[in-house]
Amino acid sequence: MIPLVSNIHSDQPSTNDLRGRLFETRALSLRLAAPLTAEDMVAQAMDDASPTKWHLAHTTWFFETFVLAPRLPGYAVFDEAFGYCFNSYYEQLGLRQPRPKRGVLTRPPLERIRAYRDHVDQALDALFVLGFDENSVAASVLEIGINHEQQHQELMLTDILALFAANPLRPRYGRAQAQAQRNGATNMGWTAYSGGIERVGHAGHGFAWDNEGPAHETLIHPFRMAHRLVTNGEFLEFILDGGYESALLWLSDGWGLVNREGWRAPLYWEQCGGEWRVMTLQGLTPLDLAAPVAHVSYYEADAFARWAGRRLPTEFEWEVAARRAPEAANDLSSGALRPLPDPSGAAGAPRQMFGDVWEWTASAYLPYPQYRPPQGALGEYNGKFMVGQHVLRGGSCVTPKGHIRATYRNFFYPHQRWQFMGLRLAEDL
C-alpha cells in the first residue's frame, strides 16, 4: 500500500462531476499532442523540458500508482518497468530515469504509451462503476491527479515550444484561434494599496495545493501596483538602453549568468535584419510590442524593474491586488497560445493578473507559518522544493482553464525562463 496524502485542501465535488472532469482532462492531453509527429513526441530540447510522450506516460503512471494500485481490487499494473521510466521525483517510490535523459526513451514506443493510457482510463472508469465515497481518500487523490495532469498540459506546450525553437526549420505547433483586435499598449496606470494586516493563503474553499496554506496573517506596507504587465516594447527599451550591459542593474548571480550565457534579450527573441522576431507556438513571428514580455528569468525581471526605478511585488502584495482583478483570463481556453496586449479594462482595476504570463514576484519560495507537508509519497510534491526558488503568480496563456486562482504559488529557479514568465511593476508608497 502506497501512503497517500492527508492535507491537500479540497471541498470534495460529487463523484459524477469528478468523473466528468477527470476524463475531460485526460482527453485534453491527447488533443494537445495530436498536432505532433511521433518524432516530435520523443525529443527533449533541454534538461528542464521533457518529451511529450513522457508527459503522456507520467500523468498516466500517476493515476496508476496513487489511485488504482492502492484502491481498485485486482488492478493489474500495465508494465512494472514503467515505474522506473515514468516516475518523476518521488524518492519513496524507488529509482527513476534521470530527468536530463528522458529523451533517450525511444522505447516503449508511442503505441504502447497510448495502450497504457487506455488501460488506466478503463480501470479509472471501473473505479467509478465500483463506487466510492465522494469524501474518501480516493476522491481526494483523483482531484490531485486531475490538477497534476493540468500542470503537465501546460508543461507539454512550453516544452514543445522549446523543442521547436531549437529546430532550424522553426516549425509551427498550430494556428491561434481568431482573437478580438486589441490596440497598442496602454499607459502604465497604478493602483494604491494602503497596506496593513492582511490574511493571505488558501482558506479551504475548493481545491488547493498544500503549499497554498495554511492561511495566515501578514503585514503589508503601503504600495502601488501597475495595472498591466510589462510589454515587449518596454523591455526592448531596456535592451536598447544597454540593460544587458550595465552591471549595476543586476544581482551578482544574474550578471554572471548573463555574461556566461551571452544573454542579450529574452529567450526566443531573434534579431533578423534589424527587425525583432520571436519564436512562438505559431512559429517565428514579428515581435508584438504591445504584448506582455515573456520568457524572462527572475534575474532579467529584477534588472528591468531596477532600470525602471521600481521593483517586483511580493507574492502577498500580488495576492491582495488580485482580489480586485477580473477573473477573465487569456488562458489555454482562449486558443491564443501567446500573451496578448492589455485589454484596457475599467480604470483603477488591475488587469492581466490571470493568464498571459506567470508573474515573477520578489518572494522566495518558502513554507507558510505552521506548514506541514502531506504524509506519504505525495508529500514530496511541493514541500521538498522550498529552497533556492522564487514564487510566480497568475497563470499563463497555456494554463488550462479553471486551474489558477489568486492563492496559487508556482515556483522556479531564478535562472529559468523557458516557461511563459513575465513581470508586473510595484513600488513603495
Average pLDDT per consecutive 10 residues, the chain (429 residues; last block may be shorter): 34 72 98 97 97 98 96 95 96 95 97 98 95 82 96 98 97 77 72 96 91 97 97 98 98 98 98 93 96 98 98 98 87 96 74 96 97 89 94 98 95 98 97
Side-chain-facing half-sphere of 37: CA atoms under 13 Å: 7
The pLDDT of residue 216: 97
Q: Say if residues 279 and 271 touch (Cβ distance below 8 Å).
A: no
Axis crossing angle, helix 298-307 with helix 252-261, rounded to the nearest 10: 110
Backbone angles phi, psi at 305, to 5 degrees: -60, -40
406 contacts: CB under 8 Å, gap ≥ 6: 319, 322, 323, 325, 393
The pLDDT of residue 346: 53
Least Cα distance to 48 among 209, 166, 174, 210 occurs for 166
What DSSP string runs through 238-259? HHHTTGGG-GGGS-HHHHHHHH
Q: Say if residues 64 and 120 touch (Cβ distance below 8 Å).
A: yes
Q: How far apart are CA 203 and CA 79, in angstroms?
A: 40
Q: How far apart are CA 419 and CA 176, in angstroms?
A: 18
Which of these CATH numbers, 3.40.630.30, 2.60.40.10, 3.90.1580.10, 3.30.230.10, describes 190-428?
3.90.1580.10
